[in-house]
Amino acid sequence: MSTEKTLVLVKPDGVSRGLVGEVISRIEAKGYSIDALRMLHADRELLEQHYAEHVGKVFYEPLVEFMMSGPIVAIVASGNRVIEGFRALAGVTDPTVAAPGTIRGDLARDQGTKVVQNIVHGSDSTESAAREIKIFFPN
Ligand code: IDP
Ligand code: MG
Protein backbone atom coordinates (compact mmCIF):
# COMPACT_ATOMS: atom_id res chain seq x y z
CA MET A 1 0.00 0.00 0.00
CA SER A 2 1.54 3.29 -1.06
CA THR A 3 0.94 6.26 1.22
CA GLU A 4 -1.37 8.93 -0.16
CA LYS A 5 0.02 12.47 -0.52
CA THR A 6 -1.64 15.86 -0.78
CA LEU A 7 -0.49 19.39 -1.55
CA VAL A 8 -1.33 21.95 1.12
CA LEU A 9 -0.70 25.66 0.60
CA VAL A 10 -0.74 28.23 3.37
CA LYS A 11 -2.02 31.21 1.39
CA PRO A 12 -0.71 34.81 1.80
CA ASP A 13 -3.38 35.62 4.42
CA GLY A 14 -2.28 32.65 6.52
CA VAL A 15 1.41 33.54 6.27
CA SER A 16 0.91 37.27 6.98
CA ARG A 17 -1.27 36.48 9.99
CA GLY A 18 1.36 34.14 11.45
CA LEU A 19 -0.72 30.98 11.04
CA VAL A 20 1.86 28.71 9.36
CA GLY A 21 2.63 26.93 12.64
CA GLU A 22 -1.07 26.59 13.46
CA VAL A 23 -1.78 24.90 10.10
CA ILE A 24 1.21 22.55 10.45
CA SER A 25 0.19 21.74 14.04
CA ARG A 26 -3.28 20.71 12.96
CA ILE A 27 -1.90 18.47 10.19
CA GLU A 28 0.54 16.83 12.61
CA ALA A 29 -1.97 16.60 15.47
CA LYS A 30 -4.33 14.70 13.16
CA GLY A 31 -1.51 12.19 12.62
CA TYR A 32 -0.38 13.02 9.10
CA SER A 33 3.29 13.42 8.20
CA ILE A 34 4.96 16.50 6.74
CA ASP A 35 7.10 15.18 3.87
CA ALA A 36 8.25 18.44 2.29
CA LEU A 37 7.90 22.14 3.00
CA ARG A 38 8.92 25.25 1.10
CA MET A 39 8.25 28.99 1.38
CA LEU A 40 8.00 30.85 -1.91
CA HIS A 41 6.60 33.90 -3.61
CA ALA A 42 4.47 32.47 -6.42
CA ASP A 43 4.47 34.10 -9.85
CA ARG A 44 1.62 34.26 -12.36
CA GLU A 45 2.94 31.39 -14.49
CA LEU A 46 3.04 28.98 -11.56
CA LEU A 47 -0.44 30.02 -10.38
CA GLU A 48 -1.89 29.67 -13.88
CA GLN A 49 -0.77 26.05 -13.81
CA HIS A 50 -1.98 25.44 -10.27
CA TYR A 51 -5.41 27.05 -10.79
CA ALA A 52 -5.91 25.94 -14.43
CA GLU A 53 -9.38 24.57 -13.60
CA HIS A 54 -10.56 28.07 -12.56
CA VAL A 55 -9.42 30.02 -15.67
CA GLY A 56 -12.35 32.14 -16.91
CA LYS A 57 -14.24 32.25 -13.61
CA VAL A 58 -15.09 35.70 -12.16
CA PHE A 59 -12.84 35.15 -9.17
CA TYR A 60 -9.89 33.82 -11.21
CA GLU A 61 -7.95 37.11 -11.66
CA PRO A 62 -8.57 38.25 -8.05
CA LEU A 63 -7.46 34.78 -6.92
CA VAL A 64 -4.17 35.00 -8.86
CA GLU A 65 -3.55 38.58 -7.62
CA PHE A 66 -4.23 37.50 -4.04
CA MET A 67 -1.96 34.46 -4.30
CA MET A 68 0.87 36.70 -5.65
CA SER A 69 0.35 39.32 -2.91
CA GLY A 70 2.83 37.76 -0.48
CA PRO A 71 4.78 34.64 0.37
CA ILE A 72 3.05 31.29 0.61
CA VAL A 73 4.12 27.99 2.15
CA ALA A 74 3.80 24.77 0.13
CA ILE A 75 3.61 21.52 2.08
CA VAL A 76 3.41 17.87 1.04
CA ALA A 77 1.52 15.95 3.72
CA SER A 78 1.05 12.20 3.67
CA GLY A 79 -0.99 9.46 5.31
CA ASN A 80 -3.84 7.09 4.60
CA ARG A 81 -6.76 9.17 3.11
CA VAL A 82 -4.87 12.43 3.68
CA ILE A 83 -6.54 14.17 0.70
CA GLU A 84 -10.01 13.77 2.18
CA GLY A 85 -8.68 14.21 5.71
CA PHE A 86 -6.97 17.53 5.06
CA ARG A 87 -10.06 18.90 3.28
CA ALA A 88 -12.05 17.96 6.37
CA LEU A 89 -9.49 19.78 8.55
CA ALA A 90 -9.67 22.83 6.25
CA GLY A 91 -13.46 23.11 6.13
CA VAL A 92 -15.58 24.30 3.20
CA THR A 93 -14.43 27.04 0.81
CA ASP A 94 -16.56 29.86 2.29
CA PRO A 95 -15.05 30.62 5.71
CA THR A 96 -18.23 32.31 6.91
CA VAL A 97 -20.01 28.96 6.98
CA ALA A 98 -17.02 26.63 7.43
CA ALA A 99 -17.65 24.59 10.57
CA PRO A 100 -16.10 25.76 13.82
CA GLY A 101 -13.23 23.38 14.58
CA THR A 102 -11.90 23.62 11.02
CA ILE A 103 -8.99 25.82 9.91
CA ARG A 104 -11.23 28.04 7.80
CA GLY A 105 -14.10 27.98 10.30
CA ASP A 106 -11.91 28.93 13.25
CA LEU A 107 -9.42 31.30 11.63
CA ALA A 108 -11.03 33.05 8.64
CA ARG A 109 -14.10 35.04 7.65
CA ASP A 110 -15.39 36.82 4.56
CA GLN A 111 -13.55 40.16 4.34
CA GLY A 112 -15.74 41.44 1.50
CA THR A 113 -12.95 40.99 -1.06
CA LYS A 114 -13.52 39.71 -4.63
CA VAL A 115 -11.77 36.48 -3.80
CA VAL A 116 -12.46 34.73 -0.57
CA GLN A 117 -9.36 34.58 1.65
CA ASN A 118 -9.47 31.25 3.45
CA ILE A 119 -5.95 30.49 4.76
CA VAL A 120 -5.29 27.17 3.03
CA HIS A 121 -5.48 25.15 -0.18
CA GLY A 122 -5.72 21.36 -0.22
CA SER A 123 -5.73 19.05 -3.25
CA ASP A 124 -9.16 17.58 -4.04
CA SER A 125 -8.26 14.22 -5.67
CA THR A 126 -5.31 11.89 -6.21
CA GLU A 127 -4.96 13.26 -9.76
CA SER A 128 -4.92 16.89 -8.54
CA ALA A 129 -2.47 16.02 -5.77
CA ALA A 130 0.00 14.41 -8.18
CA ARG A 131 -0.31 17.33 -10.62
CA GLU A 132 -0.03 20.03 -7.94
CA ILE A 133 2.88 18.43 -6.06
CA LYS A 134 4.85 18.39 -9.34
CA ILE A 135 4.19 22.13 -9.81
CA PHE A 136 5.46 23.12 -6.36
CA PHE A 137 8.11 20.40 -5.91
CA PRO A 138 9.50 19.77 -9.42
CA ASN A 139 12.40 17.75 -7.99
P1 IDP B 1 -11.23 25.06 -2.51
O2 IDP B 1 -10.02 25.90 -2.17
O3 IDP B 1 -12.13 24.91 -1.31
O4 IDP B 1 -10.89 23.75 -3.18
P5 IDP B 1 -12.00 26.05 -5.14
O6 IDP B 1 -13.38 25.96 -5.69
O7 IDP B 1 -10.96 25.13 -5.70
O8 IDP B 1 -12.10 25.92 -3.54
O9 IDP B 1 -11.54 27.56 -5.36
C10 IDP B 1 -10.18 27.94 -5.20
C11 IDP B 1 -10.13 29.20 -4.36
O12 IDP B 1 -10.77 30.28 -5.07
C13 IDP B 1 -10.89 29.12 -3.03
O14 IDP B 1 -10.16 28.52 -1.99
C15 IDP B 1 -11.18 30.56 -2.76
O16 IDP B 1 -10.01 31.24 -2.26
C17 IDP B 1 -11.49 31.09 -4.15
N18 IDP B 1 -12.93 31.01 -4.49
C19 IDP B 1 -13.60 29.89 -4.86
N20 IDP B 1 -14.90 30.16 -5.13
C21 IDP B 1 -15.05 31.49 -4.93
C22 IDP B 1 -16.19 32.37 -5.06
O23 IDP B 1 -17.29 31.98 -5.41
N24 IDP B 1 -15.95 33.68 -4.74
C25 IDP B 1 -14.74 34.15 -4.36
N26 IDP B 1 -13.65 33.35 -4.24
C27 IDP B 1 -13.80 32.03 -4.52
MG1 MG C 1 -9.89 23.50 -5.04
- Please, which residues have CB within 8 angstroms of residue 122's CB and are 6 or more apart in sequence? 6, 7, 8, 83, 86, 87, 89, 90
**d(CA 67, ligand 2 centre) in Å:** 14
Per-residue pLDDT tens for 55-80? 999 999 999 999 999 999 999 999 99
Judge if the beta carbon of residue 94 lies within 6 A of ligand 1.
no
* Residue 2: predicted pLDDT: 74
Supply the range of the domain harboring residue 65. Answer: 4-136
Judge if the beta carbon of residue 88 lies within 6 A of ligand 1.
no
Domain count, the chain: 1
Domain with residue 92: its CATH number is 3.30.70.141
Judged by its nearest atom, the ligand closest to the C-alpha of residue 118 is: 1
**d(CA 124, ligand 2 centre) in Å:** 6
- Give me the residues of the chain with pLDDT under 70, please: 1
* Cα 5–chain centre separation: 13
* Residue 119: predicted pLDDT: 98
CA distances from 13 to 52, 90, 111 (A): 21, 14, 11
- Considering just the CA atoms, what is the radius of gyration of the chain in Å? 14
Gap between the Cα atoms of 102 and 111, Å rounded:
18
